[in-house]
């Protein structure tokens, strides 16, 4: 069966988007469509150009006999800014205020299209970095962690508050919650993380950073490396931040329970990202 260029471009686009950060050889596509490698090369040049122009990502060309292309998600600042602005608007809605000054964010984190956009933005900051695993803590960070990990083509590892029979042997650590100063426990299945892994920590919310700090301690137990820390929302006005190097999309500057006002602004994403 022969394929026209238009059909190849559509199918290749789908295939490439589904296989980020994986080397796809020219041979693979040539055989898939019964086409000459020279035609495939031309197709890929058109896809690369369009992906870059439309802010979808980049196609890295790997030369040589074993060569091919690798897709890296890249969200441009012009695309990221309105997404972050919209999120700020959503979060600033005073209906989110809960007793104790907490914010209801379940609807935002429950919307797969928002989660995927945030995942693409965060992943694009690390798409060239050496990341082997994304780590998060149950429960709220999980969807974001998967959204980032799927763009980086790495597995997700979930730290839990309690151990379960279906996790096998676990490693447990104690850590101090940054804001309430209480001692808490987190556990991770022993076989879920290999020694020496480069780990990107992802979470939905960071206050003083106690939980993130706990995950860093957990990585030490596993002799794994912190390759980055990325959160959706960071709370400002924290007396003592336990974590220094992190990326945040949104900053929660003030929650005024009495006047029902929530102040949010852009996080450090555009400044911090290299």
C-alpha span between 68 and 24 (Å, rounded): 5
Contact status, residue 151 vs residue 127, Cβ threshold 8 Å? yes
Interface residue with a second copy among 146, 175, 222, 246 (CB under 8 A) is 146
271: Cβ–Cβ under 8 A, 6 or more apart, which residues? none
149 binds a second copy (CB under 8 A): yes
Give the count of alpha carbons within 13 A of 49, CB side only.
7
Block residue for tokens 């992943």 = 123
- Contact in structure between 218 and 191 (CB atoms under 8 Å): no
Q: Is 264 in the site for a second copy (CB under 8 A)?
A: no
Contacts to a second copy from residues 44-103, by CB under 8 A: 46-47, 49-51, 53-54, 56, 98-100, 102-103
7 binds a second copy (CB under 8 A): yes
In the region spanning residues 217 to 246, those forming contacts with a second copy, defined by CB under 8 A, are none
> What separation in angstroms does the CA of 238 have from each of 136, 208, 234?
22, 6, 10
Q: Is 136 in the site for a second copy (CB under 8 A)?
A: no
Tokens 């101090």 — which residue? Answer: 176
The sign of the torsion formed by the CA atoms of 91, 92, 93, 99 equals positive
Nearer to a second copy, 105 or 257 (CB): 105
Helix/strand/coil percentages in the chain, nearest 5: 40, 30, 30
User: Is residue 123 involved in binding a second copy (CB under 8 A)?
Assistant: no
Least separation, in Å, of the C-beta of 50 and a second copy? 4
Stretch that binds a second copy, among 13-21, 69-77, 241-249, 260-268 (CB under 8 A): 13-21
Q: Out of 14, 185, 225, 265, which residue is the one contacting a second copy (CB under 8 A)?
A: 14
To which H or E segment does residue 252 belong?
Answer: strand 247-256
Kindly state the smallest distance separating residue 155's Cβ from a second copy, in Å: 5
Out of 92, 105, 171, 187, the residue judged to bind a second copy by CB under 8 A: 105
**Dist CA 79 CA 108 (whole Å):** 19
Binding mask 243-262 vs a second copy (x if CB under 8 A, - otherwise)? --------------------
CB closer to a second copy out of 146 and 269:
146
Write phi, then psi, for 206 (nearest 5 degrees). Answer: -130, 120
Task: Report the nearest approach of a second copy to the CB of residue 271 (Å).
Answer: 28
192 lies in the site for a second copy, by CB under 8 A: yes
Distance CA 234, CA 215 (A): 16
How many residues of this chain bind a second copy (CB under 8 A)?
Answer: 56
Class of residue 135 by CB neighbours under 10 A (exposed 0-12, middle 13-18, buried 19+):
buried
Which residue's CB is nearer to a second copy, number 88 or number 158?
A: 158
Point out which residues bind a second copy (CB under 8 A): 5-7, 9-11, 13-14, 17-18, 46-47, 49-51, 53-54, 56, 98-100, 102-107, 110-113, 115-116, 138-140, 142-143, 146-147, 149-150, 153-158, 160, 165-168, 189, 191-192
């Amino acid at each position: 069966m022969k394929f026209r260029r238009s059909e190849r471009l559509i199918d290749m686009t789908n295939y490439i988007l589904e296989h980020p950060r994986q080397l796809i050889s020219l041979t693979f596509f040539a055989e898939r469509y019964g086409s000459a490698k020279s035609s495939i090369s031309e197709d890929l040049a058109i896809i690369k150009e369009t992906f870059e122009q439309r802010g979808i990502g980049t196609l890295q060309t790997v030369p040589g006999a074993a060569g091919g292309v690798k897709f890296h998600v890249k969200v441009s600042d012009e695309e990221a800014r309105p997404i972050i602005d919209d999120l700020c608007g959503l979060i600033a809605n005073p209906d989110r205020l809960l007793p104790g000054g907490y914010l209801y964010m379940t609807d935002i984190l429950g919307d797969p299209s928002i989660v995927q956009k945030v995942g693409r933005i965060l992943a694009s900051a690390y798409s060239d970095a050496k990341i082997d695993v994304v780590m998060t803590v149950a429960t709220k960070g999980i969807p974001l962690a998967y959204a980032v990990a799927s763009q980086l083509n790495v597995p997700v590892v979930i730290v839990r508050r309690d151990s379960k029979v279906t996790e096998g042997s676990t490693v447990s650590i104690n850590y101090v919650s940054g804001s309430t100063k209480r001692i808490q426990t987190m556990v991770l299945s022993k076989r879920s993380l290999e020694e020496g892994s480069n780990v990107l920590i992802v979470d939905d919310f960071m206050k003083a950073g106690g939980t993130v700090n706990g995950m860093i301690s957990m990585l030490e137990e596993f002799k794994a490396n912190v390759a980055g820390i990325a959160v959706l929302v960071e709370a400002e006005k924290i007396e003592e931040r336990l974590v220094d190097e992190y990326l945040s999309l949104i900053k929660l500057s003030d929650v005024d329970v009495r006047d029902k006002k929530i102040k949010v602004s852009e996080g450090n994403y555009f400044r911090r990202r290299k």
